Amino acid sequence: MAERSLLAVKDQLSAALLQQTFTVAEQTEAVIEEYKRLMEAYVRIEEGIAVLSDFAADCSYMQAGSFGSLLGIPAGASLLDSAFEDCIFNVLHAEDLVARHVQELRYFQYQKTIPVNERPKYSTFCRVRIRSANGYAYINHRTFYLKSLSNGSVWLALCLYTPSADTNPRAGIDGRIINNETGEVLAPEQYKQYDQTLLSKRETEVLALVAQGRGSKEIAEQLHIAVHTVHRHRQNIIQKMQVANTAEAVLTALNMGLITS
């Protein structure tokens, strides 16, 4: 179940970021090189891992310090052939990774509602578990959307990974969106509301009944609508949530809190 849920949420996140419209004229190598220099300087000081993701080219640049050895990543620079650092994601606890992807989806949705020049002011923070020789260890993870294009598309993102001094086990990933200038932690109501705009009220009702194992005919009878209308809602749900089928839509919706089990 966790693996299917992970694939569904990751597919939705990938679609949201990689299927944006990118204007070539604004994507210059000089901008990328400047951020790579800053990333390298940060890693030299912090000894953590930094990943600069280019969503237009679907690739990323990774710089690892000595902390990388805990994740099996050698120190130094490397080019990844994906905008997502699967070499790190693959060693995260599956439940934490799903929650991390849902958090970034919310961050993405929130960022799309604020002016482009204000977006770098906000970042995400979470504490996630990674597999280690002694079971699971906690690490801190942050995400910054560094560069958006004039049409609003998010072009470059930075992810940071460092050891966590907080090793107390507790449920969840302590996920939050932070104003980097003031230190203010945004109230969940300021961004979770965008989950509710993903589907219409009727689509949410249909999906909740699908989650209960109801067939299209039964759903039509309960909601007093035609069967072909149920089919149309199901197709709209799949398209809006960028998933392969309604089973994946249910898993994603459960993780985003759109429906309850």
User: Higher model confidence: residue 162 or residue 71?
Assistant: 162
Sign of CA dihedral 135, 79, 162, 170: negative
For residues 192 and 41, the model is more confident at 41
Decide: helix, strand or coil at residue 62: strand
CB 81 within 8 A of CB 170: no
All CATH 3.30.450.20 domain ranges in the chain, comma separated: 2-193
More confident residue, 158 or 241: 158
pLDDT at 102: 87
DSSP 66-95: GGGGGGT--SEEEEESSSS-HHHHTTB-HH
CATH entry, 2-193, from 3.40.50.410, 3.30.450.20, 1.10.8.60, 3.40.1010.10: 3.30.450.20
pLDDT of residue 260: 81
Mean pLDDT of the chain: 90
Element (H, E) at 220: helix 216-223
* Residues 134, 120: Cα–Cα separation, whole Å: 37
Fold annotation for 198-256: Arc Repressor Mutant, subunit A (1.10.10)
Of 256, 56, 237, 59, nearest to 155 by C-alpha is 56
Name the E strands within the chain.
49-54, 59-64, 76-80, 122-132, 135-148, 154-163, 176-179
Cα atoms in the 13 Å half-sphere on the side-chain side of 79: 6
pLDDT category at 258 given cuts 50, 70, 90 is confident
Which pLDDT band, with edges at 50, 70 and 90, does 11 fall under? confident
> What is d(CA 218, CA 113) in angstroms, rounded to the nearest whole number?
38
Sequence ranges of the chain with CATH classification 1.10.10.10:
198-256
Sign of CA dihedral 238, 242, 247, 251: negative
pLDDT 10s digits, 80-107? 999 999 999 999 998 899 889 989 988 9
Q: What is the pLDDT of residue 148?
A: 96
Judged against a pLDDT cut of 90, whether residue 13 lies above it is answered with no
